[in-house]
Structure 1
Amino acid sequence: MTEHPTRILLVDDQELLRAGFRIILGSQPGFEIVGEASNGSEAVELVATLQPDVVCMDVQMPVMDGLEATRRIVADPALTAAVLILTTFDRDDYLAEALRAGASGFLLKNSSPEELVAAVRIVAGGEALLSPAVTRRVIEGFAQRSAPEQPAAVEPAAVASPQLGSDFGALTEREREVLQLVAQGLSNQEIATELFVGEATVKSHVSKVLQKLALRDRIQAVIYTYEHGLATPRG
């Protein structure tokens, strides 16, 4: 039985970068590059017609940037593509907006080819990817914006903030611990070490936290925690 290949759309206004991504990803077994776009508007159109599984999305592009393109792709119930944002961190504010736009993963453009391949596989499998470097940047950004004012009064984030279900009080004490450690950028393995439990136990706690708070993934958990003043960065 032949498995369906992971269909990938490359979106970047720099042709040289697209060529590099094409070489790296196109050479991988189980990957198929189905199209390329040089701006967000083209990306939205191609996602609708080509129905890729993963979109590797640049942020800063002409006509329509990657953030708006991601919002439109994620908001369309007819589209199932997962969006992997590739960023250089030229603008700190882009990161928070990209998080809220609903992307499934975030990776630095200077990551290794192996990290890029792994990232595509992760988001194609329905998981969320937030690299440690990206998580630290998110935490720093939210911490700067939250202090010393009231954490809940964060600017127009309401437009795309996660849809909240039961409140924080619905979580058990251990689930609150796990949520706060997720928000500090720790992996399941690191959380297991911190709490002296098995990694499978941590996965179960994370799953329950996301379910109780009606959050899609760890990325939304980070946003939720910092926008509601439920955690502070590690010193």
Structure 2
Amino acid sequence: MKQEATSIRVVLADDHPIVMTGFAMSLQGQGIEVVAQAKTPAEAIQQFGDLQPDVLILDIRFGEHLSGFDVAKTILQNTASAQIIFLSQFDQDSFIKEAYRLGGKAFVTKDCDPADLAQAVRKAHAGELYFLPSIAERLANLSVRGDVSPQSMLDSRSLDIFTLLAEGLTNAEIAEKLDISTKTVSNTSQIIKEKLGVQRQAEMTKLALKHGLIQA
């Protein structure tokens, strides 16, 4: 088999050292060079900018305020050609859909076969999408039955407000955090409740947890 002239350069971003070490070893064993490992969202953004890897493998949950999705948005704003693979312990429908909606080339679960991750890296390097069979099936089911997640039904600002409401913030606190008026928060809140069919804060929290917008 013809060997590639140069190896694929990857930055791996995950806040679990054992997970990163395992994936790094398996990728390097298949001729893929892991040039850096980031443990925080800030490190992921900085290392991507400094090293300009061919592919970024990005965990969705860092256990901090910023998520992998936030990191991806920042990177893609500056480098639209960035090839990103999302990695997650959770395969919630909302995570899968958001990963591809943002422009990710693959969504891979942490219990996947290392060969699948390597294949995802090669596809991403070529600018192609990659779907694990189980993920492709989930996306097909979403397409058939329709997506009723907050992410699909709310615009960006409304989704931010919904998430903060679900976390238990008051209208005044949300207004200050987002630098908008309390009247805007109040009006948007009512629209959100009508669209999602929820009224109580506990219902919003449950819905946000279900769709991976907040952590328990």
Pair 1:14-2:12 in alignment: no
Q: Deviations over 1:41-66 (max 9, x none)?
A: 22111101110101111111133211
Question: One-letter code of the match for 1:93?
Answer: S
Question: Where does the alignment leave 5 or more consecutive residues of structure 1 unmatched?
Answer: 148-153, 160-235
Please say if residues 51 and 80 of structure 1, whose CA atoms lie closer than 8 Å, have aligned partners that are also in contact: no
Distance (whole Å) between structure 2 residues aligned to residue 115 and residue 96 of structure 1: 19
Residue 141 (structure 2) aligns with: 140
Residues 1:155 and 2:153 aligned together: yes
In 2 relative to 1, CA 36–128 (structure 1 residues): closer, same or farther, beyond 3 Å? same
In 1, the alpha carbon distance for the partners of 2:4 and 2:146 equals 50
Aligned to 2:153, the other structure's residue is in SS state: coil
Q: Secondary structure at the match of 2:99?
A: helix
| Larger-gyration structure (1/2) | 2
Q: What is the Cα deviation at residue 17 of structure 1?
A: 0.2
Q: Which residue of 1 aligns with 2:108?
A: 107
Aligned-partner SS, 1:110? coil
- Counterpart of 2:95, as a letter, is Y
Q: Distance in 2 between matches of 1:88 and 1:2?
A: 31
Q: Is the 8 A contact 2:99 2:106 kept in 1?
A: no
**Cα gap change, 1:117/1:2 in structure 2, threshold over 3 Å: closer, same or farther?**
closer
Deviation by residue 1:149-205 (Cα, 9 ceiling, x = unmatched): xxxxx523689xxxxxxxxxxxxxxxxxxxxxxxxxxxxxxxxxxxxxxxxxxxxxx
5+ long unaligned stretches in structure 2: 158-216
Q: TM-score, normalised by structure 2?
A: 0.62
CA-atom RMSD, angstroms? 2.5
Partner residue in 1 for 2:27: 25
Aligned to 2:11, the other structure's residue is in SS state strand
Deviations 1:57-111 (A, max 9, x none): 111113321111112222223x643111122335332222222211111222211
TM-score by length of 1: 0.57
Which residue does the alignment assign to 2:41? 40
Number of corresponding residues:
151
Q: Secondary structure at the match of 1:57?
A: strand
